[in-house]
Amino acid sequence: MARLHPWSRYVAIGDSFTEGVGDPEPRVPGGMRGWADRTAEVLGSSTDDFAYANLAIRGRLLQQIIDEQTDAALELRPDLVTVSAGGNDIIRPGTDPDEVASRLEGLVARLGADGATVVLFTGPDIGQTPVLGRIRGKVAIYNENIHTIALRHDAVVADMWALRELADSRMWAPDRLHFSPLGHHTIARMVLSSLAVENDLQPYELPPAEPQLWRAARREDIGWAREYLVPWVLRRVRHQSSGDGRSAKRPTPLAVFLGDDRAE
């Protein structure tokens, strides 16, 4: 098999975004596929000895990722690491994006100390997103820090903010906090492009979204708040996490097989 990239052991760390929440697939470990699985499938298709582990767990804050996932990731001796962390910190009131970024930089330095390629993610432009839109400025400041960290540590930036396709509501899961299968597919294409890896993942040409009447939109907003927003707020008040009691879906590097690549 022709080797089309230099990596043979990929480890993904992070929170629900990297775990793949919003992209259900019962045939894969943990029942969620996500952009990281999709990326690993492509990388594994061109390297015979490729192995992939995913240590991400939903709800994790940056310090939890540092404390719980860093050593475990390094013990697996990866030559490629993706780290998306800090997003759950940024959406919380009162957090300082500069302080969060300073802790992220220490994590990046550790992950890249032995020469592994480290991929960092900027946050998406959530200006049009209900509830989260009000913290758009914090996300932008955090993103600038991420670009600076990447320059200092020779890391790769997977630029979610520049991925304008994510402005389409169909890229988001019904909870409006995570990405849909289509969103995860689109992000996987972007990650592979950031790594300069040729692939056959095709962009999806979405038809124009149908206009929604104001009354129907309000009913949808009320239903969303009842089903998703209220439970999220209650977990914050109770100091609970959606990831409590959960473990990593792929703690051991294993071969990964190309999926059916469906986005719907």
Q: What is the DSSP string of 193-227?
A: HHTT----PPPP-PPPPPP--HHHHHHHHHHHIII
CB atoms within 10 A of CB 14: 25
Instruction: Classify residue 164 by its DSSP letter.
Output: G
- Average pLDDT of the residues in 47-67: 95
pLDDT at 262: 40
Domain assignment present for 105: yes
Kindly report, residue by residue over 17-34, the tens digit of the pLDDT. 999 999 999 999 899 999
For residue 90, tell me if it sits in a domain: yes
pLDDT at 92: 87
pLDDT at 260 over 90: no
* pLDDT confidence of residue 203: 83
**Distance between CA atoms of residues 49 and 254, nearest Å:** 10
Distance CA 188, CA 119 (A): 13
Q: Output Rg (C-alpha) for the chain, integer angstroms.
A: 18
pLDDT at residue 204 in the model: 75
What is the average pLDDT across 90-96? 90
Q: Is the pLDDT reported for residue 248 higher than 80?
A: yes
- CA–CA distance, 131 with 116 (Å, rounded to integer): 37
Summarize pLDDT for 181-223 with one digit per residue, the tens.
999 999 999 999 999 999 888 887 766 666 665 555 556 555 5
Q: pTM to 2 decimals?
A: 0.86
Which CATH number goes with the domain that contains 32?
Answer: 3.40.50.1110
φ, ψ for residue 158, nearest 5 deg: -95, 105
Of residues 259 and 167, more confidently modeled: 167
Q: What is the mean pLDDT of residues 115-144?
A: 88
Q: Is residue 50 part of a domain?
A: yes
Contact 95, 132 (CB under 8 A): no
Angle, CA 6 vertex, CA 62 and CA 48 arms, to 5°? 105
- Parallel, antiparallel, or unpaired: how do β-strands 51-54 and 9-14 relate? parallel
Mean per-residue pLDDT of the chain: 86
User: What is the spatial distance between Cα 59 and Cα 43, in angstroms, rounded to a whole number?
Assistant: 27
- Structural domain containing residue 34: 9-202+214-254
In a domain, 227, yes or no: yes
Strand partners, 9: 51
How confident is residue 238, by pLDDT bands cut at 50, 70 and 90? Answer: low
Phi-psi region of 30 (alpha: psi -120 to 50; beta: other; left: phi over 0): left
Domain count, the chain: 1
Count of residues making up the chain? 264
Instruction: Identify the top-confidence range among 44-53, 68-77, 125-134, 238-247.
Output: 68-77
Specify the pairing of strand 117-121 against strand 80-84: parallel
Percent of the chain scoring above 70 in pLDDT: 80
User: pLDDT category, 173, cuts 50, 70, 90?
Assistant: confident
- State residue 108's pLDDT score: 98
Residue 263 lies in a domain: no
- Whether 208 maps to a domain, the answer reads no
More confident residue, 127 or 150: 150
The answer as to whether 3 is a domain residue is no
Please answer whether residues 112 and 154 qualify as being in contact, where contact means their C-beta atoms are separated by less than 8 angstroms: yes
| First vs last C-alpha separation in the chain | 30
**Residue 235 corresponds to which tokens in the numbers above?**
């977990």
Q: Does residue 207 lie in a domain region?
A: no
Structure tokens that stand for 225 in this block: 């708040």
